[in-house]
Amino acid sequence: MGRIDDALTRGRKALVTYLCCGDPDEAESVDLAVACAEAGADVLELGMPFSDPTADGPAIARASQRALGRGGGLDATLRIAREVRKRCAAPIVLFGYYNPLFVRGEQEAVAMAADAGVDAFLVVDLPIEESIGLRTAAAARDMGVVPLVAPTTRPERVAKIAETAARFPVPFVYYVSMTGVTGGAGAAAVLGEAGAQAGRVRQATGRPTVVGFGIDSAEGARAAAERSDGVVVGSAIVRRIEEGPSREARIAAVQKLVRDLRGAI
């Protein structure tokens, strides 16, 4: 987990970028991830495509379907992670839903991820009370599990995260800026308040806290990052990949967005 700790203690706000692995294909996913890092991303979230996403909006859901249609899944995502690690030192978070990890088995999934160069997991539908097995297996390989906090999260749940962070590696906390799914544009005022809430979560948990959901512009990123430790951007990147007419156009569009976001925060 040292790579994530290093990335979040550089004295600047962290920029976390998300890609749906396998969209448009495995080779280009590797190139796009490396391009994000070269353009200024501090942490790479590599998304496992999943057939029934509950937290992802239309853009990422479409990307998942395209990736699954080309044979995407846990194995393909880990192949991509392995190739990214060969070319890039940026920390990698394996992002997705619990079912593929459960089916594979937590111990085996953790071992495979560690061998591929992954630094942490973010499993959006795994409650903290049910995560001890995965956290224990991950900790044995010096990997962490990222918890999520939403505007509706009660203080006692945040306290539970703080207790967990005292027992297991928690690289950072992901603060969800709004209820609903990814992909909606967040107003600067809403994202600014989310950043303030994230700052309070950081104080309560002792862990860096970044803001995700609704960040699709430099203005939104600046507002969310002002009082948090950084931002996560996913759907805006996925849309540029979806809209790009060629590999070169897709990489250029993603790099421009990441540079704009990096400059804003």
Please report the domains of the chain, with CATH numbers, ordered by start residue: 2-264 (3.20.20.70)
Per-residue pLDDT, 194: 95
- Residue 178 — very low, low, confident or very high, per pLDDT cuts 50/70/90? confident
pLDDT band at 185 (very low <50, low <70, confident <90, very high): low
Report the candidate in 34, 36, 31 with the shortest Cα–Cα distance to residue 237: 36
Confidence category of residue 95, pLDDT binned at 50, 70, 90: very high
pTM, two decimal places: 0.95
Kindly give, in sequence order, each residue whose CB lies less than 8 Å from that of residue 201, ignoring residues fewer than 6 positions away. Answer: 149, 158, 173, 175, 209
Sequence-separated (6 or more) residues with CB below 8 Å from residue 156 = none
Average pLDDT over residues 247-258: 98
Report yes or no: 144 and 174 within 8 Å, Cβ to Cβ. Answer: no
Task: State residue 179's pLDDT score.
Answer: 63
Give 11's DSSP letter: S
Is the model's pLDDT at 154 over the cut of 70?
yes
pLDDT at 52: 87
DSSP percent split of the chain into helix, strand, coil, nearest 5: 55, 15, 35
- How high does pLDDT run on average in the chain? 94
CA 231 to chain centre: 10
d(CA 60, CA 45): 13
Residues acting as catalytic residues: 45, 56
What contacts 51, CB < 8 A, 6 or more positions away? 64, 65, 68
H or E element: which one contains 80? helix 74-87
Asked whether the bond before 24 is cis by omega within 30 degrees of 0, the reply is yes
Contacts of 159 (CB under 8 A, 6+ apart): 204
Which pLDDT does position 180 carry in this prediction?
53
Helix (H, G, I), strand (E, B) or coil at 153: coil
